[in-house]
Amino acid sequence: MSKNQIASELSAPKHIAIIMDGNGRWANQRGLPRIAGHRAGAESVRRTVEGCKNLGIKHLTLYAFSSENWKRPESEIKALMQLLERFLKEKTKEMMAHNVRLNAIGRTDMLPKKTCAQLNKAIEKTANNTALTLNLALSYGSREEIVDAAKLIAEKVAAGKLSVDDIDNSTISSHLYTAGQPDPDLLIRTSGEFRLSNFLLWQLSYSEIVILDKFWPDFAESDLYDAVTHFHSRQRRFGAI
Ligand code: FPP
């Protein structure tokens, strides 16, 4: 199915989430340093954002740096942060041209000051764009997100602003970092691993999952279209018959 058919004939998923895995192994296979894999991965990010926009997808969430990634060697963390800064600096113009709004989810206050400043600058600049919301999950862990939501809810209960009896699914959803955005309809993970890796555990409850047996730097626009086509071929019943 062509991308035009996907975009026009079928209702596209509203929200796609991606675990971008395999940058290190991609580099390793080529005898390159791991950062070369991350650099190639950043190019895949650009292609994917463009592809999602072409398909009319309104929300894209990319797992760019997990809370566990802080355990990596300092040199790799530093290189990743520099890559992110450069990406934000260079791509803000493109995001403006394509009407893409940047958002970040995670404990972003843990990022280096310079990275955080660059991130906030891009978020502010693109705040009024409406075609696609690009959520970068940075210093993100889903359990931490749920803990943070529980704390916010507990504070409201303690202050008498919320009654325990009124807490339901929507209360939790509206206190997560993704508050106000629909849950992902589709999760894509590259590099063939069948794991959620502490990513959007609450939000992925009903998502379709596509695992691709290729590394993230090799993820092409055609893989995105195939995943979306596959998504349409699956019947989603949300527990009903
Ligand atoms: C997983 O591959 C990838 C990451 C931990 C970082 C993702 C970063 C990028 C795609 C590039 C920069 C991002 C942006 C938004 C500009 P891995 O390192 O775990 O690979 P491995 O499992 O093969 O070691």
pLDDT of residue 232: 85
Question: What are the tokens at 189?
Answer: 């993970």
> Model confidence over 28-37: pLDDT tens digits?
999 999 999 9
pLDDT of residue 233: 83
The structure tokens 């090799």 sit at 218
> Model confidence over 161-188: pLDDT tens digits?
999 999 999 999 999 999 999 999 999 9
Domains of the chain (ranges plus CATH)?
3-142+184-233 (3.40.1180.10)
Question: What are the tokens at 75?
Answer: 């040199």
> Is the pLDDT assigned to residue 6 strictly greater than 70?
no
CA of 83 to the centre of ligand 1 (A): 11
**33-48: average pLDDT:** 98
Q: Is 41 in a helix, a strand, or coil?
A: helix
Q: How confident is the model at residue 7 (pLDDT cuts 50, 70, 90)?
A: low
> Is the pLDDT assigned to residue 9 strictly greater than 60?
no
> Model confidence over 189-211: pLDDT tens digits?
999 999 999 999 999 999 999 99
pLDDT of residue 8: 52
The DSSP string of 75-114 is HHHHHHHHHHHHHHHHHHHHHHHTTEEEEEES-GGGS-HH
pLDDT of residue 1: 59
**50-73: average pLDDT:** 97
**Mutational test site, ligand 1, from 18, 23, 84, max ligand atoms within 8 Å of CB:** 23
CA distance 126 to 200: 24
21 belongs to the catalytic site = yes
Ligand 1 pocket (Cβ < 6 Å) reads 20-25, 38, 41-42, 45, 62, 64, 69, 83-84, 87, 136, 216
69 belongs to the catalytic site = yes
pLDDT of residue 148: 98
Whole-number Cα distances in Å, 171 to 42, 100, 167, 175: 35, 28, 6, 7
CA distance 227 to 230: 5
pLDDT of residue 239: 65
